[in-house]
Amino acid sequence: MEVGGPIVFIDDDEEDQFILKPILESIAPNSPILFFNNGEKAIDFLRTTDERPFLIISEVIMKNMSGLELRRQIEQDKELKKRSIPFIFFTHPAYKQWVEEAYELTIQGFFEKKSSTKEIKQQLEAIVSYWTNCLHPNRFDDE
pLDDT in tens, 93-133: 999 999 999 999 989 999 999 999 999 999 999 999 999 88
Q: Does 137 score more than 80 pLDDT?
A: no
> The domain that contains 78 carries what CATH number?
3.40.50.2300
Residue 89: domain span: 7-139
Instruction: Report the mean per-residue pLDDT for the chain.
Output: 91
Edge-to-edge strands of the sheet including 55-58?
A: 33-36, 7-10, 55-58, 87-91, 109-112
* Closest CA relative to residue 55, chosen from 111, 102, 10, 112: 10
One-letter amino acid of 56: I
pTM of the full structure: 0.91
Position 81 in a domain: yes
Position 90 in a domain: yes
Per the structure, the count of domains in the chain is: 1
Position 95 in a domain: yes
Cβ(55)–Cβ(136) below 8 Å:
no
At 77-86, the pLDDT tens digits run 999 998 889 9
